[in-house]
Amino acid sequence: MNRNIIAILRGIKPDEILSIVRVIAEAGVSQVEVPLNSPNAYKSIELLRDEFNDTIQFGAGTVTSINEVEVLAKIGVNFIVSPNFDPAVVNATKEAAILSYPGVITPSECFAALKSGADGLKFFPASLIGEANLIALRAVLPIDIPLYMVGGVGPENFSSWIKAGATGFGVGSGLYKAGDTSELVAKKAE
């Protein structure tokens, strides 16, 4: 079963990424993000590429510069997620033929990001906008644009966010915290 969830593995190390991602994928989560502020993040992403290239979508998060996009394009990521909307980062990502998901909250940020070529929008932190605001935003945003909720979302409120118009979710600490064992992550992933 495939779920529209991106596992955010903030703080993961290269020596643990393969075992952690294996249990996440077995639970049906087929999109994995390694934030660039994790230890040796590029190495972890390369390991994902080499081990899971045909079975999951993998990308980088906390991408805030064109230089980072250039390195990630050479590695061959499927998507790039940013905590903010920066037109230069979105443009560089699209020029590299990579999916772009910038972080937004306001209607102005949403439409500016889409005008720059964003493939979807990451609402971060989602807990600040709430479901009522998402309903209002969904009414004016293009219907085919994926909207990912990140920050303050989990199994306890997935259904209310979906009813409000969310397409998917980025789940970080509810799924993985730095140092978690693969056994613990497997339980959380279920």
Q: Annotated catalytic, 183? A: no
Catalytic-role residue among 16, 68, 122, 188: 122
Q: Annotated catalytic, 33? A: yes
Q: How far apart are CA 71 and CA 69, in angstroms?
A: 6
CB contact at 8 A, 123 and 98: no
Question: Which two tokens mark 134?
Answer: 């998402």
Q: How far apart are CA 30 and CA 26, in angstroms?
A: 9
Catalytic-role residue among 16, 33, 68, 188: 33
* β-bridge partners, 121: 147
What amino acid positions are annotated as catalytic residues? Answer: 33, 122
